[in-house]
Amino acid sequence: MTEQTRDITIESLMSEDRSFPPSEAFRAQANVSSESIYEEAERDLEGYWAKQAEKLDWFRPYDTVLEWNAPYAKWFIGGKLNISYNCLDRHVRNGGGEKIAYYWEAEDGERREISFAQLLEDVCRCANALKELGVRKGDRVAIYLPMILELPVAMLACARLGAPHNVVFGGFSAESLAGRINDSEAKILITADGGIRKGNVVPLKANADDALQSTPSIEHVLLVRRTGEDVPVADGRDIWWHDLVPQQQTECEPEQLDSEDMLYLLYTSGTTAKPKGIVHTTAGYLLGVMTTHEMVFDIKSDDVYWCAADIGWVTGHSYIVYGPLANHTTGVIYEGVPDFPARDRWWEIIERYKVTVLYTAPTAIRAHMKWGTEHAEKHDLSTLRLLGSVGEPINPEAWLWYHKYIGGERCPVVDTWWQTETGAILIAPLPGITSLKPGSATRPLPGVEADVVDEQGNSVPAGGGGYLVLKKPWPSMLRGLYKELERYEETYWSRFPGMYFPGDGAKRGEDGYYWLLGRVDDVMNVSGHRISTMEVESALVSDQRVAEAAVIGQKNDLTGEAIFAFVILRGETEPAPDLGEELRQYVGRKIGAIARPKQIMFTPELPKTRSGKIMRRLLRDIANDRALGDTTTLADSSVVETIRTASAASKSDE
Ligand code: WT7
């Protein structure tokens, strides 16, 4: 294994042999009830996707299903369509305008519901307002909003105009926002005065104003009033949403976009400091999210579906906005945290809206587990019929808890593997036919060809662990990294030529089931979100007092991994007790709270190879209290002992 490769542990999962076949009742009503779909897709990949593509509404039919010049794919070439039309207009035209598109609930209890017809009107108004601000097809629009209805409205308005959106999660800092705006050269920023989180105001406009000092491309800021805070409004540049949007026309002709026109950009952490701008396009992406939403969650027309992620992440893009709306599904959007005002908030929401399908992350499930079953027990959760998980491997204990206490042992739990880059779910059960195994995402979906390979790219025999790869293109795949073609090839396609490498380790059992084993690159998975060690390190060393930093993921029961930083201070600085806390807060401000290290350890040295590379593997072993692996390439072996002693001392201080 190379220095970069994380030691993979599979013991806890290997012993997992419990199996949950679909019940007869579930199978009988399932959207997919026959295994033949896998063979069908394998026999004729393009034919399979062409058949699925009949579910889309086209302004002009496509000529060619797929053009594959590895690693570049084009899907549905020549087709013309519009995603907002597919998500809204066609349902309204088919008489489905009255149906609720979203039940929205604020953290403070305020509630709104919006029908498909109303949503279409709001989207048209917003699109017309953006036009008035000069937005044209191809212009990028940055969006930095809390979980309010204006967020999907703004995204769909961009999609209507063919102006790619670049949504920045509301938890990110001013600096992260500025970086993403500048990389995408966005013309407009849509933000709000503030957001609400755990009863407190998140100062979005203040952050945005900081960011806007270094974002020359922004011409206007469209500002939503959410919290009512007094915020500065720059003359000529900032325009209140309520002064511009409501008076617009409720009709706006959707642009006839090419299948391969860019729908959005979304930045995600990579192994080098600069976030990667993942590019998704129109037809393939929509088809990917729509079909998976329908198959994996077994969506029916009367479902009330709740994906409890934030729209600022890809999960929200694909499974709160585009997939569910394209399927004419009623969804729930909740603005706040799960334990405000009390720990039964989620269960209260499920009872109130009679939620039937819940999609969340293992880290949230583990938090609920820790809080105890009494909170769920207070509520009627009997409407639930299916549960989903995403973001990181789900440990079997959490799976079983979710299945028993939330799903009442009657709901299938679908563990769904995918990433920002894949756009849509790729490995997951089809709940009407797949027997579930706690901790396994089960099998690649129809049309997805995955494998587990060794260093050389050879298939690993059943039962063995290795690197997950994908061997065929899929419609919702990323089309590249924004303005960084070479980096696209290098990051995903160079390690195993001809194969897509997502950066995850996996094991495949005798039964063909996949067990995801976490990232093998220098990317941590904290609460289901990818954070690059490099980004946190650069943030730390940007403090004058820090000479060098090495960041690793430490195993954590609640968040999967927690950020652990080894820091070398500059000569004159003493590791004062408050300095660790100060640096933690500093990183939080610089990148966002999610990237704040949980622990900082001051150390006089770091273990390095003779060529000067930091040996993170050893640091991981130290932080995770594991026996040290191979240390033969270490330049100075006494370093590790020094750190170990310091680490033991800092643990006894806790
Ligand atoms: C990385 C992608 C996909 C939306 C949320 C995160 C990990 C995701 C699973 C799963 C094991 C998973 C992988 C992947 N991951 N889902 N079901 N089992 N690992 O999107 O930020 O792009 O992160 O999350 O490591 O590569 P993302």
Instruction: Name the burial class of residue 43, with classes exposed (0-12), middle (13-18) and buried (19+) by CB atoms within 10 angstroms of its CB.
Output: exposed
Is residue 293 located within the same domain as residue 330?
Answer: yes
Condensed to tens digits (0 to 9), the pLDDT of residues 443-456 reads: 999 999 999 999 99
Q: What is the mean pLDDT of residues 109-117?
A: 98
Tell me the two tokens of residue 51: 């058949």
Residue 252 confidence class, pLDDT cut points 50, 70, 90: very high
Decide: 275 in ligand 1 pocket, CB within 6 A: no
497 and 633 in a single domain? The answer is: no
Ligand 1 pocket, residue 465 CB under 6 Å: no
Ligand 1 centroid – CA 156 distance (Å): 25
* Tokens 């007790």 belong to residue: 577
Identify whether 631 is part of a domain: yes
For residue 389, what are the β-bridge partners?
Answer: 360, 415
User: Could you tell me if 485 and 540 lie in one domain?
Assistant: no
Token reading at 531: 């954070």
Residue 426 falls within a domain, yes or no?
yes
Q: Which atom of ligand 1 is nearest to the CA of 389?
A: 17
Residue 249 lies in a domain: no
Closest residue by CA, ligand 1 atom 5 = 391
- Segment 431-443 shows an average pLDDT of 97
Mutation probe of ligand 1 site: the residue of 525, 526, 527, 535 with most atoms within 8 A of C-beta: 525
Residues 311 and 403 in one domain: yes
Picking from 451, 481, 511, the residue at the C-terminal end of a domain is: 511
Ligand 1: does its nearest atom lie under 6 Å from the Cβ of 391? yes
Question: Domain for residue 45, yes or no?
Answer: yes
- Claim to verify: residue 482 and residue 533 sit in the same structural domain: no
State whether the beta carbon of 6 lies less than 6 angstroms from ligand 1. no
Most confident range (mean pLDDT) of 397-401, 601-605, 632-636 is 397-401
Residue nearest (by alpha carbon) to ligand 1 atom 8: 391
Model confidence at 16, pLDDT cuts 50, 70, 90, reads low
pLDDT at position 632 is 66
Tell me if 525 CB under 6 Å of ligand 1: yes
With residues binned 3-state (H G I as helix, E B as strand, rest as coil), the percentages for the chain, rounded to 5, are 35, 25, 45
Are residues 408 and 344 part of one domain?
Answer: yes
Shared domain check, 497 and 604: no
Domain assignment present for 389: yes
Q: What is the pLDDT of residue 152?
A: 99
- Cβ of residue 522 lying under 6 Å from some atom of ligand 1: no
Can you tell me which atom of ligand 1 is nearest the CA of 318? 4
For ligand 1, say whether the CB of 314 is within 6 Å of any of its atoms. Answer: yes
Question: Which atom of ligand 1 lies closest to the CA of 516?
Answer: 11
Nearest atom of ligand 1 to the alpha carbon of 269: 21
Q: How confident is the model at residue 377 (pLDDT cuts 50, 70, 90)?
A: very high
Pick the atom of ligand 1 nearest to 441's CA. 17
**For 518-562, how does the pLDDT look when each residue is reduced to its tens digit (9 = 90+)?**
888 888 999 988 888 888 988 998 898 998 899 999 999 999 999
Closest ligand 1 atom to residue 315 Cα is 4
- Tens digits of residue pLDDT in 230-240: 999 999 999 99
Query: CB of 292 closer than 6 A to ligand 1?
Result: no
CB atoms within 10 A of CB 271: 16
Which tens digits make up the pLDDT trace of 564-620? Answer: 999 999 888 888 879 999 999 999 999 899 999 999 999 888 888 776 777 888 888
Q: Measured in angstroms, how far is the CA atom of residue 586 from the centroid of ligand 1?
A: 27
Rounded to 5 degrees, φ, ψ at 9 are -110, 135
Average pLDDT score, the chain: 93
441 pocket-lining for ligand 1 (C-beta < 6 Å): yes
CA 563–ligand 1 middle distance (angstroms):
17
pLDDT of residue 650: 62
Rounded Cα–Cα distance for residues 164 and 147 (Å) = 20
Task: Give the pLDDT score at 8.
Answer: 41
pTM of the predicted structure, to 2 decimals: 0.91
- For residues 406 and 295, membership in a common domain is answered with yes
Q: Is the pLDDT of residue 647 over 90?
A: no
Query: pLDDT tens, 302-337?
Result: 999 999 999 999 999 999 999 999 999 999 999 999
Give the CATH number of the domain where residue 44 resides: 3.40.50.12780
Domain annotation covers residue 432: yes
Question: 419 C-alpha to center of ligand 1: Å?
Answer: 5
Asked whether residue 85 carries a pLDDT value surpassing 60, the answer given is yes
Ligand 1 geometric centre to CA of 418 (Å):
5
**Residue 536 and residue 456 share a domain:** no
Given a cut of 80, whether residue 628 has pLDDT beyond it is no
Kindly give the distance from the C-alpha atom of residue 422 to the centroid of ligand 1, in angstroms, as a whole number: 10
| Inter-residue contact 265 to 138 (CB < 8 Å) | no
Q: Please state, for a pLDDT cut of 70, what percent of the chain lies above it.
A: 95
Last residue of a domain, one of 460, 492, 511: 511
Domain boundary among 511, 538, 562: 511
pLDDT, position 638: 79
The verdict on residue 292 lying in a domain is: yes
Q: What is the CATH number for 608?
A: 3.30.300.30
Q: How confident is the model at residue 654 (pLDDT cuts 50, 70, 90)?
A: very low
Instruction: Summarize pLDDT for 256-295 with one digit per residue, the tens.
Output: 999 999 999 999 987 666 889 999 999 999 999 999 999 9
Q: Candidates 417, 421, 515: which one to mutate for ligand 1, based on the most atoms within 8 Å of Cβ?
A: 417
Ligand 1 lined by 392 (C-beta under 6 Å): yes
Q: Is 394 found in the same domain as 285?
A: yes
**What residues contact 625, with CB distance under 8 A and at least 6 apart?**
none
Q: Ligand 1: distance of its center to the CA of 570 in Å?
A: 37
Beta bridge partners of 525: 530
Nearest-CA residue for ligand 1 atom 1 is: 419
- Domain limits for position 421: 20-82+279-511
Cα atoms in the Cβ-side hemisphere of radius 13 Å centred on 124: 17
* C-beta 507 within 6 A of ligand 1: no
pLDDT digits (tens, 9 = 90+) for 296-308: 999 999 999 999 9
User: What is the reported pLDDT for 10?
Assistant: 36
Residues 501 and 525 in one domain: no
Of 480 and 3, the structure prediction assigns the larger pLDDT to 480
Q: Does ligand 1 have an atom closer than 6 angstroms to the CB of 315?
A: yes
- 502 C-alpha to ligand 1 centroid (Å): 10
Q: Which atom of ligand 1 is nearest to the CA of 309?
A: 5
Distance (Å, rounded) from C-alpha 636 to C-alpha 608?
Answer: 8
Query: Other C-beta atoms within 10 Å of 532: how many?
Result: 24
Q: Is the CB of 390 under 6 A from ligand 1?
A: yes
Task: Give the Å distance between the CA of 649 and the centre of ligand 1.
Answer: 34
Q: Does residue 4 carry a pLDDT above 80?
A: no
Q: Which of residues 402 and 634 earns the better pLDDT score?
A: 402
What does the DSSP assignment read for 491-529?
Answer: IIITTTTTSB--SEEEEE-TTS-EEEEEE-SSEEEETTE
Residue 370's CB is within 10 A of a number of other CB atoms, namely 10
Angle between helices 577-591 and 533-541 (to 10 degrees): 120
529 Cβ closer than 6 Å to some ligand 1 atom = yes
- The answer on 583 and 454 residing in a single domain is no
340 lies in a domain? yes
Average pLDDT rounded to a whole number, residues 15-43: 93
pLDDT tens for 210-221 read 999 999 999 999
Q: Is the CB of 532 under 6 A from ligand 1?
A: no
For ligand 1, mutation pick of 390, 416, 437, 507 (most atoms within 8 Å of CB): 390
Task: Provide the domain count of the chain.
Answer: 2
Helices 150-161, 116-132: crossing angle, 10 deg rounding: 60
Cα 465 to ligand 1 centroid, rounded to whole Å: 18
Per-residue model confidence as pLDDT tens digits over 36-56: 999 999 999 999 999 999 999
